[in-house]
Amino acid sequence: MTIAVRALRIAGGFGLLLVGGLLALPGVPGPGIPIMLLGLVLLSSHFAWAKRAMDWLKARGAALRARVQSGPSNGSGRA
């Protein structure tokens, strides 16, 4: 990967993080969180902290998916 392509990917990743962060503010319409995730995807191949954040988000998503698919917990008292 050339230096120019790498610089563009890093700049684009930070740009998407910034725009997504602004769109994720309360009262601002727009898809802020997905845009921030796209920025993390771009940055994760260049920075360890972005890779760790993506791995953490994947693990949390898998845990949430498993909890939703398992149905209601036994202690809720609801059918």
SS3 for 20-39, per residue? HHHHCCCCCCCCHHHHHHHH
Average pLDDT over residues 44-66: 94
Indicate whether 76 belongs to any domain.
Answer: no
Q: Which residues, at least 6 apart from 9, have a Cβ–Cβ distance to it below 8 Å?
A: 42, 43, 45, 46
pLDDT, residue 72, reads 75
Whole-prediction pTM: 0.74
Whether residue 23 is contained in a domain is answered as yes
* 21 touches 30 (CB < 8 A): no
The residues near 1 (Cβ < 8 Å, ≥ 6 apart) are: none
Give the pLDDT confidence score for residue 64 in this predicted structure. Answer: 93
Is 36 within a domain? yes
In a domain, 8, yes or no: yes
Q: Is residue 52 part of a domain?
A: yes
Residue 37 placed within a domain: yes
Whether 42 and 12 have beta carbons less than 8 Å apart is answered as: yes
Q: Tell me how many domains the chain contains.
A: 1
pLDDT of residue 18 exceeding 90, the answer is: yes
Length of the chain: 79
